[in-house]
A and B are shown apart, each in its own frame.
Chain A
Amino acid sequence: MITIGFEDREKIGLRYVLDTLHPCSPFGTERVRKLRFYAPDERNELETELRNTERAANAADALKPVYDQIMLVLCQLKDIRGSLKRLSEGACLDHVELFELKGFLLRISDLRPLFDRMNETVRIEGLSFSDPAAALDVLDPERTRSRGFYIPDSASEALRAIRAEKKRLEQRLYEAAESEKDAIRSMRTRVCAEEETEERAIRAAMCAALLPHVPAMLADADAAGQLDFLIQKALFAVRYGCVRPEITETALELTDMVNPELVDLLKAKGRAFVPVSIATDRGATVITGANMGGKSVAMKTVALNVLLFSAGFLVCAKRARLPLFRCVRMLFDDAQSMQSGLSGFGSEIVRFNEALREVEEGYSLFLLDEFARGTNPDEGAVIVQAVTRYLNGANAISILATHYDGVAEFAGTHYQIIGLRDIDPDEIKTGLSVSGEDGVAIIARHMNYGLYRVEGKADCPKDALHICRMLSLKPEILERIERAY
């Protein structure tokens, strides 16, 4: 089962995505809050959900007025599951609870024609609402379909008689002399008690009559949550141009994927997120590249999109082929266990062991960002090489970002950050001397955060040297560096 902790959600931008959703009903809100990931044996269910989401997204523009009306109705739904539970346990519900049940049934009747209109185009599979008319008739025997809840005089002959007497006494009370009022008041109190007893009996009868409808009402509440969530997922897909992934057995392919949180963050700064593409399969994949080059971003974007897919979302990419994972685990360099009393490195090993145990329980996705960076470079390289070699044989897709040398040759797949590969350093150097702009900012702007696949043995990227050149490091030093390369 996939479970993702609060910190990881935050880090990979999943929380951001969930925060952009605005479910309307308590049932939809619950689905977002308790996000459920499909397990490998739920492939058919996930397939259905993805198709539903895709169709709902495709129709979002044309059906906007219908979606808006559906959301308006969903907003008015209240969580009646507590009352339904009490009802099933044989409790006699009070006026307010019956009012809420009636309100719920009325909303469901409002929702049904809208849902049908949506369905003409979207053809949602596995989602339906039952006809609430029979249950409504219990709560609204006179079929007024008014919003309020009131036990009508006609509910029983006894009630009619009691209410008539109550009314008569009230009129008398209004007209009577002060001396007679106390006597009338005590008569009235008796009638009120009778009314309460009779109403209680009627409420109990209503509850008994509602009992057979409880399963349908619970199912409708669930369906409302599903519909609510589906619309939110569809609107999200439209916002970020998402695509329905093809489900594979083991292969993972994400073409031009983006991370919504970074897309929005960069957009606010007038910049754009560079889409990342990656294709890999069972075994270890290593991502290398200069620091600041976006290795972590690539990994987090993979994690985010895999999780979105597993939760039935379309993914933020141009094209996607993804397998179902038993679990998704990530070890990011910036999390340190302060309580453990171990050093950063020690706690990293503890967490690695823990994660590996889970990863080995079934086909999983394992992400390691700059593993063992907390130790010295020689030892670190040896450790990461061994880990990579091990993971390359494990039943999981493992992606490791590292800047250690000699790791990639132990991996099945090797990706490198494009970085400054395609940039002519002299051009930037000239540009710099002319404009007098901040050099670091210019380099950041020219940095290509995309990935490219390295076939065979790769040269070490010389981005650091490029940067030295562009920023006009003292020539005597530069010469020595070039000689040493």
Chain B
Amino acid sequence: MKTLLPQNCKHIRTLSIVGMCKNAGKTTVLNRLLAESRGRVLGLTSIGRDGESVDVVTGTEKPGIYVPDGTLIATAKDMLALSDITQEIVFTTGIPTPLGEVVLVRAKSAGNVQLAGPSITSQLKTVSDLFFSLGAEQTIIDGALGRKSLGARAVAEGVILCTGASYDMRMEKVVADTAQIFRVMNLKKAETVPEESDKPLHEILKLSREALVPGALTDAAVVPLLKSGALKNARLVVKDPSKVLLSPDTLDKLALRSVSLETVEAAKVLCVTVNPVSAYGWKFDPDAFLNTMAAAVDVPVINVKEEPL
């Protein structure tokens, strides 16, 4: 099989696949990854429920998740009846979901699985640790959509960001918004974390050139600081990328004033995948989409529909 995904996606210990929208090609990427990893033991779970054969939102048919023999899967008990792998139940985690307790099962044959994993970061971490203790070489988390996935950093070290025509009819908007999420996700990891303080930002910055932002970082907070010059050459640290609620314009300005925006919890985006076909009927020109996207980010961009899987 021709390898499509960059090698680093396969070497990172915990990998999260996140989509900009439904039908961005997340499951296609996941299946590709699983197929290319045949022979290695992978641990597979999701943030909450995913993997339905028909997309409940758009009604379009979705590819199922097909795992190779030996894969470890963490999913809700009720989902096991919908899977067609030969199962070995390995562990019951006690983590509750609306679809039953999260159960760890080893696939004793290849087959289709339905994922409904834990929805809390700490539980995902527990599951991921369990995978490794059971001999997994890599954990793959089928992530959430868009901004929500920004919170899942505590677990995943690497991220594959999936985007596609389904996000918006205007290709420029798809590219711009994806690039924005990409930038926020790829914030530099803070080497040192400034002390927490309940003083207002501008006062902290007056004393030292760095500050830990306790909550969300918004335009309303940042723009006045930019205007007053208080931020020049400063270092701003957020807890995790989901806390950054800045417009692309403000992000540009921060970069321009050489303000370093960093995060405590950081994962790397390893590659961006594009799906030029929308579930709603329109298509982008595959090459144009790929090239525009590639120009907006500094990691490999892959067209998931490039070759039949």
Contacts and interface: CB of A to CB of B under 8 A. Distances in A.
Interface of A: 78, 94-96, 98-100, 103, 147-150, 163, 166-167, 170, 173-174, 178, 189, 192, 195-196
A149 B91 CA distance: 9
A192 B84 CA distance: 6
Interface string B91-125: 11000000001010110111100000000000000
B109 A95 contact: no
A226 to B, nearest CB: 24
A66 B58 CA distance: 59
A196 B81 CA distance: 9
Given A94-B81, A189-B84, A150 B108 contact: yes
A150 B92 CA distance: 14
9 contacts: A94-B81, A95-B87, A95-B89, A95-B105, A98-B89, A100-B92, A148-B88, A150-B87, A170-B110
A78 B103 CA distance: 14
Given A96-B80, A163-B86, A166-B109, 18 more contacts: A99-B89, A100-B92, A147-B90, A147-B91, A148-B88, A148-B89, A148-B90, A149-B88, A150-B87, A150-B88, A150-B89, A166-B86, A170-B69, A173-B110, A174-B38, A189-B84, A192-B111, A195-B86
Interface in B282-309: 308
Contacts, number: 51
A170 B67 CA distance: 11
A96 B77 contact: yes
B111 A149 contact: no
Nearest to A196: B84
Contacts of A166: 86, 109
Contacts of B92: 78, 96, 99-100, 103
B24 to A, nearest CB: 23
Nearest to A173: B110
Interface string B23-37: 000000000000000
A463 to B, nearest CB: 52
A457 to B, nearest CB: 66
Contacts of B109: 163, 166-167, 170
Contacts of A147: 90-91
Contacts of B69: 170
Q: Is the interface of B mostly helix, strand, loop or mixed?
A: mixed
A149 B89 contact: yes
A174 B92 CA distance: 31
Report the 4 A-B pairs with minimum CB-CB distance, sorted nearest first.
A150-B88, A99-B89, A192-B84, A149-B89
Contacts of A174: 38, 110
Interface string B223-239: 00000000000000000
Interface residues of B, number: 22
A100 B103 CA distance: 11
Contacts of B111: 170, 192
Contacts of A95: 80, 87, 89, 105
A463 B80 CA distance: 75
A169 to B, nearest CB: 9
Contacts of B105: 95
Nearest to B112: A192
Nearest to B90: A148
A173 B84 CA distance: 15
A461 B240 CA distance: 69
B33 to A, nearest CB: 15
B89 A96 contact: yes
A195 B108 CA distance: 13
Contacts of A170: 69, 109-111
A291 B96 CA distance: 53
A189 B84 CA distance: 8
Contacts of A167: 109
Given A96-B80, A99-B92, A170-B69, A148 B86 contact: no
Nearest to B69: A170
A149 B111 CA distance: 18
A150 B89 CA distance: 7
Nearest to B38: A174
Nearest to A149: B89
A196 B103 CA distance: 19
Contact of A178 (B86, B91, B110, B308): B308
Of B89, B106, B108, B110, which is in contact with the most chain A CB atoms at under 10 Å from its CB? B89
Given A95-B89, A96-B92, A163-B86, A148 B106 contact: yes
A163 B109 CA distance: 8
A217 to B, nearest CB: 18
Interface string B65-93: 00001000000010011001011111110
Contacts of B108: 150
Contacts of A189: 84
A480 B86 CA distance: 96
Of B91, B101, B110, which is in contact with the most chain A CB atoms at under 10 Å from its CB? B110
A275 B91 CA distance: 50
A95 B88 CA distance: 8
B306 to A, nearest CB: 14
A35 B231 CA distance: 63
A181 to B, nearest CB: 10
Contacts of A99: 89, 92
A189 B308 CA distance: 22
